[in-house]
Amino acid sequence: MQKIIAANWKMYKTRSEAAQTARDLAESGVPANRRVVIFPPFTAIAEVADVFAGSTTVAVGGQDVYPASEGAFTGEISTAMLREAGASWVLTGHSERRHVLGEQDDFVAAKTSFALAQSLNVMLCIGETLREREAGQLQAVLRRQITTAFVRLPSDRLEKYFAIAYEPVWAIGTGKVAESAEVLEAHAVTRKTLCDIVGKIGCKIPVLYGGSVKLDNAAALIALDNVDGLLVGGASLAAQSFAQIVNA
């Protein structure tokens, strides 16, 4: 199975900076056992998509989307706008949207099902806070986040067009990577929940790990059971370090 290595550029890079990073990445190539998805800021999606036009291994996505076709939603972006700019993926439920911008499970679920139904591939982010982990709520939180998101999902699109990124909130941007045993446990819970809720197709949905992924831990993380890829933030900003992670 091809593993997915995703780059979340967050609110970094102007259009020209993003285009330069994309051109540098394009020179490195992608090994046959990897697929790459890059999530630039909205303003740079078209530039990055142009660099990878026609590529079968590198796709581009939006970091968020609003669950309506169009309307009076100041500051938001639609699936059609993302698609026309060259995005084929979208992230939903990233922990910074949940915890910095206050998005709740229901809103994340609405975005996830709307984007899938509108033919975007969706990478749904889930993960527990440190407080939830320390209170022994890991399993309950992951099950709740997955179950809520799946209530309205169009099941015919799940097999090919959906991925989950498990990102423990306490490991994002902190340099504190989860131990192998913690990743194994969380991915096993995620996998079991997906199999329970969705059945056979759920068992095949790729589950990525994210949270302080760097070159020195990428190879070990990607080799773990039930880890089908990586979602990389800080270490994806420089083309060279991200290319090394893709090749790890």
Residues at the contact surface with ligand PGA, assessed by CB under 6 A: 8, 167, 172-173, 210-213, 231-235
Nearer to ligand PGA (CB atom), residue 50 or residue 180: 180
Q: Is 8 labelled a binding residue?
A: yes
Please list, in sequence order, all residues whose beta carbon lies within 8 angstroms of the beta carbon of residue 248, skipping any fewer than 6 positions away.
215, 218, 219, 222
With CA atoms as reference, report the closest residue to 48 among 245, 236, 248. Answer: 236
Q: Contact at 8 Å (CB) between 82 and 65?
A: yes
Contacts of 16 (CB under 8 A, 6+ apart): 47
Query: Annotated catalytic residue: which of 47, 94, 103, 187?
Result: 94
Asked if residue 119 belongs to a known ligand binding site, the reply is no
* Helix, strand, coil percentages, rounded to 5, for the chain: 50, 15, 35
Within a 10 A sphere around the Cβ of 11, how many other Cβ atoms?
7
Nearest distance, CB of residue 3 and ligand PGA, angstroms: 16
Helix (H, G, I), strand (E, B) or coil at 213: coil
Tell whether residue 10 is among the known ligand binding residues.
yes
Q: State yes or no: 212 annotated in a binding site.
A: yes
Measured from the CB of residue 64, what is the shortest distance to ligand PGA in angstroms?
A: 13
* 9 annotated as belonging to a binding site for a ligand: yes
Task: Between 131 and 176, name the residue whose CB sits nearer to ligand PGA.
Answer: 176
User: How many angstroms separate the Cα of 37 from the Cα of each of 60, 72, 133?
Assistant: 5, 30, 29
Closest distance between ligand PGA and the C-beta of residue 228, in Å? 15
Residue 99 annotated as catalytic: no
In the complex, what is the shortest distance from the CB of residue 97 to ligand PGA, in angstroms, rounded to a whole number? 10
Nearer to ligand PGA, 39 or 107 (CB): 39
Q: Which two tokens stand for residue 236?
A: 């994806």
Nearer to ligand PGA, 41 or 233 (CB): 233
Are the beta carbons of 105 and 149 closer than 8 angstroms?
yes
Q: What is the three-class DSSP state of 221?
A: helix
Query: Which candidate in 47, 103, 128, 167 is catalytic?
Result: 167
Residue with the shortest CB distance to ligand PGA: 233
Q: Which residues are annotated as a binding site for substrate?
A: 8-10, 173, 212, 233-234
List the catalytic residues.
Answer: 94, 167
